[in-house]
Every structure is written in C-alpha cells, then in structure tokens.
Structure 1
Amino acid sequence: MTDVSGSVQAERFGALETRLRDRRQAGAKLLIPYVTGGYEGWQRAVEAAAAAGADAIEIGIPFSDPVIDGPVIQQASTAALAQGATPASVLEEVRALDTGIPHAVMTYYNLCHHQGHERFASALVEAGVSGAILPDLPYVEAGPWLTDSAEIGIEAVLLAAPTTPDHRLAALCEASRGFVYAVGLLGVTGERAALASTATEIASRCQAVTDRPVLTGVGIGSPAQAVEACQVSDGAVIGSAVVRTLMSDGPAAVGELVATYRAALDRG
C-alpha cells in the first residue's frame, strides 16, 4: 500500500475547510452540489458544476442499502451499481477529475469498516479526495474513524441533526473537519415544497457553538430555499435536485442548474 500519511497529508489535509473558510471570509455563501458517482455522465456533471461556481463537490459512492438517500438518489445509485460501479471504480474516476476545487465523498460506514479505516482513507487520499461524509456513523461512535482519517489526511465531516442535544452539539462541531453538515430535517434526502423550520434552527444552533463553516443540506429544493437557508448557515448542499437533473437532462444541464443556485446565493 502506498504510504500517504506523510507528505501527501501535509499537502492536502485541510484543503476542504481552507477553501470554505476563504470563500466565507470573502463574503460568499458556500455551495456544494452532490453528484452520484458511477452514474452515466457523472464526471462531466462534476466538471460542469465546478465551472458553474461550486465551492466543492460531494461525490456519492453508491451503496445498496442507503440510510439517508431519498428516492432520486437511490434511483441513481441503483443504476450506477447495475452499470458495474464499485468503490474502487468510482475512486479511479475521481482520480481523473481536475476541477480546481476540493472533492468530498459521501457513502456508508460499512464500506469503510469492510476495508478498514486506514485502507479506506488511503484510497480516498490517493484519488485526490479531501473529505468524507459517513452519515450512518454517529458522533458517539466515530472516535476511531476521526483519529484514523485525520492521521491519513482525510477531513471527516460530521452531521448535526435537528435532534442532536445541546450538550453534545459543541463537541460534535469541534470534532468535525471540513465543515459541519447541518441536516435540515428528519427524513431522507429530497426536494420539498418549502424549507423546513428545522433547517434554520439546527444551523443557528451550530453557528452558536462553532466558527467552522456550517452548511445546510437535506430538503433544499430550489435556489430560493437555498437563499433562505443561508440567512443562517454559511452555505448549502444541493443533492436531489442535481441528481434528478443529471438523470433527466444530462451533465450540461447540471451546470446550468448549479449556475442558478450560484446566482441566487450571490444575489442573496
């Protein structure tokens, strides 16, 4: 196995958070689109999203038994798996990307546990990935992963749910790397007709206990809702809307969609 714990770690670790902090300091609201890795045209969709003004890209590694993915992302993941996508194949394709912005992967802990923390994190670093989101690994059980990922050079992003108790929230935000993922509602990913009140509530609670970038995701279905969420949070993660557009209209349309979110956030 390639040793990635030395010079590579020093070069890359912190790239995601540094990028987001720098953009926040410049007055920008942050935008991270999610794209399902392995789905037909996904690499071109990532490149289009980056060119349209994304600050980072969240890349999903398809998993057969998702916990947080709603019907749109589940459909894309099922199609990607049927087309032969594997964690190794997706990361090999990630390695070929040259977007100029950080990449974070989102997948489930079983893949990490099966490979072992060191091997999993090393594979991410070798693919040029900066961060990892494992939504089914709760903070209270994440200690070994937080330690191992940091030693290898991966920023472990943690999720703050609307139900996270106050006595735990500050520690969770302190332990998170890259950014704090404020989960906008209790439920799976997907577009909603209106932004849930819990989206601004959890973002506000996070902002009160951390200076780390706080981004709201899950349940944001339009540029207007992203702007509403960003009245409190530092940015928004847009998933189902992006993946739906990729499946229905192709990679170029993803760039057009991300551009509408970028313009809306810039206008405020």
Structure 2
Amino acid sequence: MKIAEKFEELRENKESALIAYICAGDPDSHVTKSAVETLVEGGADIVELGLPFSDPIADGPTIQEASDRAIRKGMNPDKYFELVKSLSVKVPLICMTYYNIIHKYGIRSFVDSCIEARISGIIVPDLPIEESTELKQCCENNNIDLIHLISPITNDERLKKILNNSSGFLYLISQTGVTGSDSNIDSGLESLIKKIKKYTDTPVAVGFGISNLSQVRNIISYGADGVIAGSVFVKTIASGKNMEHELLQIAKELKMGTRHD
C-alpha cells in the first residue's frame, strides 16, 4: 500500500495516522519482525524501520544505542532489505536512514532494493533539500515517496522548497533537538501546522518526543494528519520485559488519540 492511499483511507475513517518507528536489527532480526507485527496489531498505520548508521545525528541516546546494538549484531543494508522483504504486514513501510549509507550503496541500487522490499517511502534526516535532487528524481521515477523534515525554525524560503519537493507526508519536528527529547512540544506547533496546510494538501505528521496519549490528542487537535512515535517503542524493545505485550498496549493507547471525536 502507498502512503497516500493509507492517509486517504484514514481520512475516510475519520482517523489520523499512528506512525511507529523502530530500529531494524535491535536486538536482532527475529525481534524486529515480531515487533513490527505487534505494532501493526496494536494500531500502527505506517511503520518506519530505521536502517542503522554509526553516527545518527538526528537521534537521541535511545535510538543511538539501538543503532549501535543493531550494527554490533551485524545489521547492514543487505540484511536490512532481506528483513523487510520477510515482513507480511499490510501497511506502508518507510526506510529511515542517513545519506552516507545511500551514497555508498548507490542511489539507484538503494531505490531498487527498496522497490524489491516493498518500501513505500524514504526519510533521510541529514540530506538537505538543496542536495536531494538525484535521490528525489530516482524516487519519483519509481513511485517511492521521499519524505522531508520541517522544524519549528524552518524559514519561509526553505519551507516552500520542502513543500514543493515532498511527497507521502511532511515530517514536522515538534521541537528543536533530537528524537526522544523530554523538552516540551514547541508552543508554536499549532500555528505552524495551520501555516503549512495553507500551502499544501500533503499530510503533516508530527514527530520527536511523542510518547503518550495526551500529546497525541493535543497534536491531532492542532490539525496534524498523523503522529510519529519512536523512542517509546525502542525503549520497550530494549527492556526485553514482556516486549510484545507492552508494545501492543502502548500502540493501542497512542492509536486511541488519533481517532477523531
């Protein structure tokens, strides 16, 4: 399923999207596969699978540590794509990784592997919009969404460039900093969502620091089309205690907040 189709389905059902992130290969591929299936059972509408990188600059300690564990266990791009191909869930899958991996793998080869693995979108946090032309063109030619990030400090000029070059959804960062931060969600988030929606029909999903039902409900009330939660799931996997049960309960709780009253 394509990302746009999923958002359209959710709109018809009067829901917004729960997008769940986990790091592939943490602590191993078997656990990742089980975690993905559990998250979807719990209500995740889209799953973002991190392809671990040694220097994940956009990620906080929780996901950095997960990436390190996965790499130490041997996770690499080839194993990543084999793992994703083995998944049978019927929701869009997104690859989140860093540009050094894509560049070394080869843009065309990387996109081809995404196609084979039925990946619907790619997020590259360290790829500036001005340098994304080659990857964007390759993604467009193969019906894969290249999803860009917008922060509370993105100026109007960059915002317009991003809006004109994004597909799937817009990843709106809820706060300055890294993933998993305990800081409060930016006070100007509601006005920023409304501003973005004046210029585009592309869905807006909010991430970074999203971990509880109250946050989800607030963000959806601001007009967001989805929320992205990651560190809360990664921490649960790392704890190893009743993982499937805990993941299921957290996903169900967060999903409740995406349903429109």
State the TM-score bracket (shorter-chain normalisation).
Answer: over 0.9
Report the equivalent of 2:236.
Answer: 245
Is 1:180 the equivalent of 2:170?
yes
8 Å CA contact 1:182–1:217 kept in 2: the answer is yes
Number of residues paired by the alignment?
A: 255
Report the equivalent of 2:20.
Answer: 33
Is 1:57 the equivalent of 2:47?
yes
Return the alpha-carbon distance in structure 2 between the equivalents of residues 60 and 251 of structure 1.
19
Q: 1:193 to 1:109 in 2, by over 3 A?
A: closer
Is 1:95 the equivalent of 2:85?
yes
Q: 1:107 aligns with which of 92, 97, 109?
A: 97
8 Å CA contact 2:7–2:16 kept in 1: the answer is no
Q: 1:169 aligns with which of 159, 166, 172?
A: 159
* Length-normalised TM-score, structure 2: 0.92
Return the alpha-carbon distance in structure 2 between the equivalents of residues 69 and 230 of structure 1.
23
* Length-normalised TM-score, structure 1: 0.90
8 Å CA contact 1:160–1:202 kept in 2: the answer is no
Q: 1:22 to 1:170 in 2, by over 3 A?
A: farther
Give the secondary-structure state (helix, strand or coil) at the position aligned to 1:168.
helix
Q: 2:111 aligns with which of 117, 121, 129?
A: 121
Give the secondary-structure state (helix, strand or coil) at the position aligned to 1:33.
strand
1:140-151 matched pairs, under 5 angstroms:
140-151=130-141
- Alpha-carbon deviations, 1:162-215, whole Å to 9, x = none? 222113323312321110111111110004263232443432332221111100
Give the secondary-structure state (helix, strand or coil) at the position aligned to 1:45.
helix
Structure 2: segments with no counterpart, 5+ residues: none
Return the alpha-carbon distance in structure 2 between the equivalents of residues 48 and 23 of structure 1.
20
Does 16-25 or 75-84 show the bigger shift?
16-25
Aligned Cα root-mean-square deviation (Å)? 1.6
8 Å CA contact 2:15–2:260 kept in 1: the answer is no
How far 1:228 sits from its partner (Å)? 0.9
Return the alpha-carbon distance in structure 2 between the equivalents of residues 25 and 48 of structure 1.
24
Report the equivalent of 1:153.
Answer: 143
Report the equivalent of 1:47.
Answer: 37
Return the alpha-carbon distance in structure 1 between the equivalents of residues 184 and 258 of structure 2.
17
8 Å CA contact 2:44–2:255 kept in 1: the answer is yes
Give the secondary-structure state (helix, strand or coil) at the position aligned to 2:33.
helix
Structure 1: segments with no counterpart, 5+ residues: 1-11
Give the secondary-structure state (helix, strand or coil) at the position aligned to 1:227.
helix
